[in-house]
């Protein structure tokens, strides 16, 4: 395959990021953009030299030539649109969260197997050097037995964020704070430490009662299946701007803490007979003007898709892992 041809569905904040990254490479082509917002499509058609559609069905029934469809639409559409794409015999990229329940995600995975197509999920925080380093030291048992893992995600998401969107904050369309804001950190937990059990949670809505249908904050206590305990404390109630996203690990042979606004800095590393290596710089956070998100690592996501399509690599963030994150969030909310 020479150039990989992409169609991007949903040209909002993150869809535009896809379009820009795809256009800025010489091994990819932006074959089409799709958005139900007519004004947005008109505005973006001036920026992007590509075909435009107002509906995914129009794209799928057109004679436009594309290999991969990237879904950057509201969360509740991910699984149904992924099924349409797969039935139409294309590969699909599904923004996080993969879906709003694990049974829908499972149906998408089964369909991809039948159609022999790829699903790429998006967990781009894994590409941040501190995350990759944590994965390496835990996989190589550098900390010995794990006693405790603490994840703190304290962000600002206020009227400025929710007023700009029709779907964010609505239970049926968004899913909840763990789906939209903090699923990246549930993925970090699963990717590095594996599954959790014996979950106990409490949820609160501190200062979003008129704004969102669900909790803005929660406290989650759990055991790691591989041994050790953990907590997740999360909130979008922080005034004005993000405070931190951090992970602290207490192990038999040492302790580490990775923090910053989005787990971008190693703040502490004290391990028996171990010298902390120099890590490459972490990319800045996704910047949406008034607020910031997770690491701006989508270029690595696109690189992996192109490498897989060209037969040079395997999928780095699979649909099975994407579904696992959804299943863990479901269990946390049920607990």
Could you say whether residue 34 binds ligand NAD (CB under 6 A)? yes
If the CB atoms of residues 60 and 122 are measured against ligand NAD, the closer one turns out to be 122
Asked whether position 27 contacts ligand NAD by CB under 6 A, the answer is no
Select from 40, 126, 208, 316 the one that contacts ligand NAD (CB under 6 A). 40
Binding of residue 10 to ligand NAD (CB under 6 A): yes
Q: Which residue has the tokens 């690491």?
A: 295
**Footprint of ligand NAD on 139-168 (CB under 6 A):** 165
Q: Closer to ligand NAD by CB, 14 or 109: give it.
A: 14
Residue 222: how many CB atoms within 10 A of its CB?
23
Q: Side by side, which strands form the sheet with 217-224? A: 196-204, 217-224, 229-235, 146-154, 244-251, 254-259, 265-271
Q: Does 96 bind ligand NAD (CB under 6 A)?
A: yes
- Tell me which of 7, 14, 105, 326 binds ligand NAD, using CB under 6 A: 14
SS3 annotation, 139-191: HCCCCCCEEEEEEEEECECCHHHHCCCCCCCCHHHHCCHHHHCCHHHHHHHHH
180 scored as a contact of ligand NAD (CB under 6 A): yes
In angstroms, the first-to-last Cα distance of the chain is 47
Instruction: Give the total of residues touching ligand NAD (CB under 6 A).
Output: 27
Least Å distance, CB 111 to ligand NAD, is 19
Q: Nearer to ligand NAD by C-beta: 9 or 137? A: 9
Whole-angstrom Cα distance, residue 335 to residue 329? Answer: 10
- Residues between 69 and 88 that touch ligand NAD (CB under 6 A): 72-75, 77
Q: Which two tokens stand for residue 294?
A: 């997770």
Which residue has the CB atom at the shortest distance from ligand NAD?
Answer: 12
Listed ranges 13-21, 152-160, 218-226, 236-244: which one lies at the site for ligand NAD (CB under 6 A): 13-21
Residue 118 CB, nearest approach to ligand NAD (Å): 18
Does position 254 interact with ligand NAD (CB under 6 A)? The reply is no
Report how far residue 46's alpha carbon sits from residue 288's, in angstroms, rounded to the nearest whole number.
21
Q: Rule CB under 6 A: choose which of 56, 92, 263, 302 binds ligand NAD.
A: 56
Question: Is the distance from CB of 122 to CB of 75 less than 8 angstroms?
Answer: no
- Residue 123 or 192 with smaller CB distance to ligand NAD: 123
By CB under 6 A, tell whether 300 contacts ligand NAD.
no
DSSP tag of 96: S
- Which residues sit opposite 121 in a β-bridge? 94
Residue nearer to ligand NAD on the CB measure, 74 or 228: 74
Q: Long-range CB contacts (< 8 A, 24+ apart) of 296-301?
A: 296/17, 297/124, 297/125, 297/127, 297/128, 298/14, 298/17, 298/18, 298/21, 298/122, 298/124, 299/21, 300/124, 300/127, 301/93, 301/120, 301/122, 301/124, 301/127
Compute the least distance from the CB of residue 109 to ligand NAD, in Å.
18
* 115, 87 contact by CB (below 8 A): yes
Query: Do the beta carbons of residue 267 and residue 284 sit within 8 Å?
Result: no
**Interacting stretch for ligand NAD, rule CB under 6 A, among 7-15, 111-119, 190-198, 321-329?**
7-15
How near is the Cβ of 216 to ligand NAD at its closest, in Å? Answer: 16
Closer residue to ligand NAD (CB): 9 or 108: 9
| φ, ψ of residue 80 in degrees (nearest 5) | -65, -40
Report how far residue 250's alpha carbon sits from residue 34's, in angstroms, rounded to the nearest whole number.
47
Q: Does 91 bind ligand NAD (CB under 6 A)?
A: no
Which residues of the shown chain bind ligand NAD in the complex (CB under 6 A)?
9-15, 34-37, 40, 56, 72-75, 77, 95-96, 122, 124, 165, 180, 286, 293-294
């Amino acid at each position: 395959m020479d150039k990989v041809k992409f169609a991007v569905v949903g040209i909002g904040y993150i869809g535009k990021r896809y379009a820009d990254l795809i256009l800025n490479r010489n091994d990819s082509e932006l074959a089409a953009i799709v958005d139900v917002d007519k004004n947005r499509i008109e505005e973006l058609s001036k920026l992007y030299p590509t075909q435009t559609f107002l509906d995914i069905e129009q794209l799928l029934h057109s004679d436009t030539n594309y290999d991969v469809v990237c879904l950057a639409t509201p969360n509740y559409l991910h699984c149904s649109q992924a099924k349409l794409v797969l039935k139409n015999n294309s590969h699909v990229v599904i923004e996080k969260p993969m879906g709003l329940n694990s049974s829908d995600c499972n149906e998408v995975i089964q369909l991809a197997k039948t159609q022999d197509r790829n699903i790429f999920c998006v967990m781009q925080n894994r590409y941040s050097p501190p995350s990759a380093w944590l994965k390496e030291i835990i996989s190589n048992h550098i900390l010995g037995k794990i006693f405790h893992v603490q994840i703190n995600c304290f962000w600002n998401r206020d009227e400025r964020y929710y007023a700009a969107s029709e779907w964010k904050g609505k239970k049926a369309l968004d899913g909840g704070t763990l789906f939209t804001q903090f699923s990246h950190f549930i993925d970090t937990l699963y990717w590095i430490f594996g599954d959790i059990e014996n979950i106990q949670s409490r949820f609160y809505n501190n200062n979003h009662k008129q704004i969102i249908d669900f909790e803005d904050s929660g406290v989650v206590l759990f055991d790691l299946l591989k041994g050790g305990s953990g907590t997740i404390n999360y909130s979008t109630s922080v005034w004005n701007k993000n405070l931190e996203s951090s992970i602290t690990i207490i192990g038999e042979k040492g302790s580490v803490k990775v923090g910053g606004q989005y787990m971008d800095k190693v703040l502490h590393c004290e391990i028996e007979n171990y010298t902390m290596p120099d890590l490459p710089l972490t990319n800045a956070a996704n910047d949406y003007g008034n607020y910031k998100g997770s690491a701006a690592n989508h270029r690595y996501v696109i690189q992996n898709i192109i490498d897989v399509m060209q037969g040079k690599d395997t999928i780095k963030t699979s649909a099975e892992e994407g579904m696992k994150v959804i299943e863990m969030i479901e269990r946390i909310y049920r607990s």
